[in-house]
Amino acid sequence: MPVEPPSSLRHVSAQSLPRQRGRAPSAVPAPGYWRRLLPALALLALVTRIPSFGRRLWNPDEGYLAVQARILADGGALYDTVVDRKPPLLPLLYQASFAVFGDESLRSVKVLAVVAQLITAALLAGIARRRWGDRAGRTAGVLYLLVSIGLNPQDAQAATFEVFMLPFTAAALWCADRGRWGAAGLAVAGAFLTKQTGGAVLVPVLWLLWQTSPTRTALLRTGVGFGLPVLCAAWLTTPYGFVFWTVTGSGAYASFTGSELHVLFRALANTALLGCACAGLIPPIVRVLRIARTGVGDLWLWLAASAGAVLLGFHFFGHYYLQLIPPLALLATAALQILPRDRLASALLTSACGCALFLAWGMLAPRPELAHAERIAAAVQARTGPSESVLVWGIHPETYWLADRAPASRYLTAGLLTNYSGGRNGPQVGEKYAMAGTWPVFAGEMRTRRPALIVDDSRGKPFAPERVPTLHKLLSRDYEALPDEVDGAVLYVRSRRG
């Protein structure tokens, strides 16, 4: 038995449905459209990210990137003298920003994050305007920015991977929508080289290619646009290191085993947060797009591929959810073209109220972990000289940056050596779960660049030194603990026999 649409949709004409992709709106574009819209979006992007300037940093990822940038500026090499499981683009952006504005503050990259959000919003507005008209363009840009901070502030306000990945994903759809396949592939490469999960946008790009230009030439241009920058990045760093640290070396990190309930709770909590932020977007999508045939199959694929990227690795950190927001904003915009105009006002008002709540959270939220890292950094500074290296055995790499001390190891967190990086506290944490080959390298570093100070910042977590034989042996043989702990952390200095 066929399902009858709601009464508000029964008499929707074909002309009132969102236009098919690639088909320009029939209305004459308003003169000065972008001249009016871009300043408004820029102001909104700045307002939504005001809390990001209220903290020195928001999460360990920012600290990790800051430390990497300093090491690279001092002549270090990515995937060699400093390593991470991420592609190279964002560490290099941090390094460039520090070179111009100095490395004592993250304000410069926070400004760049505002610019990244503005570019994302403008590209989404361009996609929506091309498909559905001027009003839709304004709607998409504004809705995206209002919802873009709808998570825990340490996830939404940090100037980290997803924020800088999203302009590339939006650019990939913008280019594919216009049949610019080489540029679309290049944008996909930019997203992938910022964070691996950004490559998920290749799915809707290929779908658009198949729908609009299923030729070998278009496919070749997309492939070359994507493949050439990735190959260049691998060659300019180190091919083996690039492949190992970005793709093949993270098997245990991506495993579901360990802390299932903890991870499930995190997934539900972050899903609920984003659901609250999208309270103005989801009802129109559910009400309209499940009934009307609107020609937004590529947007559904974008959302599905992004959801798959969130699921990948089963960690469900809040910042993973950010890549769901652009396709949700466009889908809501498509739905609102069908519904009566008052539904648009309702969606904008609901989103604005949610944005205000997340803004207040960002302005008022305490940051106890930042205060902890600052206290440890002060202790490290007081007990070491500027030229001495330090090992912080913990999950707060920002301590090195705050203390202005060089790390004694290329592994900036204990997670890379114990598989604790994903926040897992279950059975797959320990020396034997480290990334392949890391412990022999670490042992060599401890012999050739023996740290003046070792900070055990494990605080009872599963990677505590007594559970890590190699580190425990090093501490027992060559170091002695200072009598006073610093905020729960134990400081070790070289012993006379060491």
Residue 419: its pLDDT value, please? 86
The DSSP element (H or E) to which 191 belongs, if any, is helix 181-194
For residue 27, pLDDT over 80 is answered with no
Q: For residue 372, give the nearest of 393, 398, 409 by alpha carbon.
A: 398
Structural domain harbouring 353: 26-364
Residue 424: its pLDDT value, please? 58
CA distance 235 to 223: 18
Interior CA angle at 70 toward 66 and 74, to 5°?
A: 170
pLDDT band at 498 (very low <50, low <70, confident <90, very high): low
Which tens digits make up the pLDDT trace of 418-436? 988 655 556 678 898 888 8
Residue 313: its pLDDT value, please? 74
Which tens digits make up the pLDDT trace of 273-284? 999 999 999 999
**Burial class of 22 by CB neighbour count within 10 A (0 to 12, 13 to 18, 19+):** middle
Alpha carbon 192 to chain centroid, angstroms = 11
The DSSP element (H or E) to which 479 belongs, if any, is strand 479-481
- Residues 114 and 186 occupy one common structural domain: yes
Average pLDDT on 16-41 reads 68
- Residues 329 and 436 occupy one common structural domain: no
Residue 471: its pLDDT value, please? 95
The DSSP element (H or E) to which 389 belongs, if any, is strand 389-393
Q: For residue 316, give the nearest of 362, 270, 360 by alpha carbon.
A: 270
Domain count, the chain: 2
Which tens digits make up the pLDDT trace of 31-78? 799 999 999 999 999 999 999 999 999 999 999 999 999 999 999 999
CA distance 221 to 181: 6
DSSP secondary structure letters along 300-340: HHHHHHHHHHHHTTS---GGGGGGGHHHHHHHHHHHHTTS-
In a domain, 70, yes or no: yes
**Burial class of 76 by CB neighbour count within 10 A (0 to 12, 13 to 18, 19+):** middle
Amino acid sitting at position 245: W
Q: Which residue has the tokens 């709607």?
A: 139
Question: How many other C-beta atoms lie within 10 A of the C-beta of residue 375?
Answer: 16
Residue 22: its pLDDT value, please? 45
Torsion of CA 248, 252, 256, 261, to 10 degrees: -140
- Residues 302 and 400 occupy one common structural domain: no
Terminal-to-terminal C-alpha distance of the chain = 82
In a domain, 14, yes or no: no
In a domain, 437, yes or no: yes
Interior CA angle at 175 toward 169 and 178, to 5°?
A: 145
Domain boundary among 338, 364, 390: 364
CA distance 149 to 120: 14
Decide if 156 contacts 362 (C-beta within 8 A).
yes
- Residues 193 and 303 occupy one common structural domain: yes
Residue partners of 489: CB distance under 8 A and separation at least 6: 376, 379, 394, 455, 456, 457, 459
Burial code (b: 16+ CB inside 10 Å, e: under 16) for 240-254 equals: ebbebbbeebbebbe
Average pLDDT on 181-208 reads 97
- Residues 360 and 449 occupy one common structural domain: no
Domain boundary among 317, 342, 364: 364
- Residues 250 and 351 occupy one common structural domain: yes
Average pLDDT on 342-351 reads 95
Q: For residue 81, give the nearest of 378, 377, 449, 358 by alpha carbon.
A: 449
- Residues 350 and 279 occupy one common structural domain: yes
For residue 108, pLDDT over 50 is answered with yes
pLDDT over 70 percentage in the chain: 89
Which tens digits make up the pLDDT trace of 126-145? 999 999 999 999 999 999 99
- Residues 132 and 197 occupy one common structural domain: yes
Which of helix, strand or coil describes residue 76? Answer: coil
- Residues 280 and 404 occupy one common structural domain: no
- Residues 291 and 346 occupy one common structural domain: yes
pLDDT, the chain, mean = 90
Residue 304: its pLDDT value, please? 95
Average pLDDT on 198-213 reads 95
In a domain, 2, yes or no: no
CA distances from 205 to 149, 347, 424 (A): 26, 28, 34
Q: Global pTM?
A: 0.92
**Burial class of 48 by CB neighbour count within 10 A (0 to 12, 13 to 18, 19+):** buried
Average pLDDT on 137-155 reads 97
In a domain, 94, yes or no: yes
Q: Enter the DSSP assignment of 115.
A: H
Amino acid sitting at position 220: L
Least confident of 17-26, 91-100, 155-164, 301-310: 17-26
- Residues 125 and 255 occupy one common structural domain: yes
User: For the chain, how many residues are written?
Assistant: 498
Which tens digits make up the pLDDT trace of 234-259? 999 999 999 999 988 776 666 656 56
Residue 262: its pLDDT value, please? 77
φ, ψ (nearest 5 deg) of residue 75: 100, 10
pLDDT band at 7 (very low <50, low <70, confident <90, very high): very low
Decide if 406 contacts 389 (C-beta within 8 A).
yes
In a domain, 17, yes or no: no
Burial code (b: 16+ CB inside 10 Å, e: under 16) for 425-455 equals: eeebbbbebbbeebbeebeebbeeebbbbbb
- Residues 75 and 199 occupy one common structural domain: yes
In a domain, 21, yes or no: no
In a domain, 260, yes or no: yes
Residue 292: its pLDDT value, please? 56
Alpha carbon 283 to chain centroid, angstroms = 26
Amino acid sitting at position 130: R
CA distance 160 to 36: 29
Domain boundary among 343, 364, 385: 364
